[in-house]
Each structure stands twice: as structure tokens, then as C-alpha cells.
Amino acid sequence: MDLANCIRCMGYSEMYSSSAIIHTEKKPNLKYKAELWKPYEIKILFLAEAPPYHSANSNVVNDSYFYNPEESQRFFGAPSPLLGTLSWNLFWLLGISNKLSKKEKLEAFREKGCYYIDAVKCRAERYDKKNIINKTVKNCASFLNEEFKNLNPGCIVVLGERALYGLKCCEIFKKSIPSTSINLLLEETKNQPLKIRNSKIFFLPLPIWRNRQYLESIRQIFKLINREIT
């Protein structure tokens, strides 16, 4: 089954009490044509968990999907670290100016040789502590596996537990990734990345406000990531 027509996770929130609602009709990487932002040579591939939920009734400027070039990234008040959306925070950690528009930031991101993908391709609506279950991540593993084969990144940055599980589900990585949490891998690799096949791999909790206690470790790893770019 091709990604555009995939509905494997439809109805999971009714079948599994812990599952978030997976909107199989909402695949923002296809809607926003994310592949057009792919650099010629991918130095850094960021692997995140899943696209954020966005209501069809909400304005496009409020859609925080990474490759939405029309997203408003204006944050008022003190510019505290990790206070913005995931894309805003990644741009900040990469030294991309906050004064730029979202489209200009994406252009700078591509010029650095960076690319971004999600382990789960459909939008996930999380509520009442419901989350993306393992079965959902496994369903996307075949798409993810093909992406890794085609993209051939020099460096992979894994962002969050669901992204880590997605990597473990990929045929080309599942025998090589340690069976431990993202936070333990963060500590083990913050001075030196894991080397698997032809890629260096860094592991981070999602660089968002709820994980601000890891800010110093995140900054330390991004120093290494920025060296890979230059």
C-alpha cells in the first residue's frame, strides 16, 4: 500500500484505549510536499515522532507542521529556550535567525544540508493522556525504512521515544539500536554519536518546553551536530 492511500491505523482510538486518534486522511508531508525541501546532500536527518494535530477549521498560519512555510513563528515575551514549536526550537538550536520568516528558515535549514521526517506520517490527536501506540509506529516502519534507504544521511538525530521506536522497527537498524530509553541514550552519546552502517546517530528528547530540564545536554549535542554541518 502506498502512503497516500494507507489507512492501517484508522479506528485505533476505538480499538485500543490508550491510542491517540490517528487521522489517516491527514498526511501533511504530502500536503506540503516536504520532499521539495530535500537538500542535494543530506548531512543531518532529523527524525521526529509524528506531525502535530491541526484542525481543518483552523487557519494555516496556526499549523505547526515542520514544512508549513506559512506558519506564524512570532513568539511574544522573553525569548526563553525551547518555548516555541518544535521547528522554532530546532532552528534556534541550529543558529538560524529568529528574525526570518518560516519560509526563509526552511531555506536556511535546507542550505545547511538538513532534512526532517516523522516516524508516523499521519497527524495524531492526543488527549486525556492518550499517546501514539507501538502498533501505529510499526505500521509506518515500512515507509520509514524506504526513506532511510533513499535518503542515505550522514547523520541522524532521533527526537523522542516514538521516533526511537520507529528507528528500532526499521529493518536496516533494528538489530543495531540498543534496547534502552531515549534519555539513557542521550547520556551515552552526548559526547560521541553512535555509529551504525554509514551514519552517525544522536539521540535527544523532543526539544520542547516540557523537556527543558535536558537543555544543557541538548545544547551540548547540538554543538556536535553543528560541527557535522560545517
CA distances (Å), origin 177, targets 38, 128, 202:
26, 31, 11
Per-residue model confidence (pLDDT) at position 77: 47
Q: How far apart are CA 230 and CA 225, in angstroms?
A: 9
What does pTM read for this prediction? Answer: 0.94
The length of the chain in residues reads 230
Distances (CA, A) of 19 to 5, 53, 64, 159: 21, 14, 22, 20
pLDDT of residue 81: 81
**Complete DSSP assignment for the chain:** --GGG--TTTTHHHH-TTBPEEETT--HHHHTTGGGG--SS-SEEEEES-PBP--TTS-GGG---TT-TT------S---TT-S-HHHHHHHHTT--TTS-HHHHHHHHHHTTEEEEESS-SEEE--TT-B--HHHHHHHHHHHHHHHHHH--SEEEEESHHHHHHHHHSTTTTTTS-SS-HHHHHHHHSSS-EEETTEEEEEE---SGGGGGGHHHHHHHHHHHHHHH-
What pLDDT is attached to residue 14?
80
How far, in Å, are 9, 11, 20, 22, 27 from residue 133 at the CA level? 10, 13, 8, 10, 18
Cα 205 to Cα 98: distance, rounded to the nearest angstrom? 22
> Which pLDDT belongs to residue 175?
85
Count of structural domains within the chain: 1
Q: What is the pLDDT along the chain (230 residues), one digit of tens a residue?
A: 799 999 999 888 888 878 888 999 999 999 999 999 999 999 999 999 999 988 877 899 889 999 999 998 766 544 568 888 999 999 999 999 988 999 999 999 999 999 999 999 999 887 666 688 889 999 999 999 999 999 999 999 999 999 999 999 999 888 888 888 898 998 888 889 999 888 899 999 999 999 999 999 999 999 999 999 98
Residue 78 confidence (pLDDT): 44
Residue 26: give its domain's CATH number.
3.40.470.10
Q: Are 98 and 79 within 8 A, CB to CB? A: yes
Give residue 202's domain range: 3-229
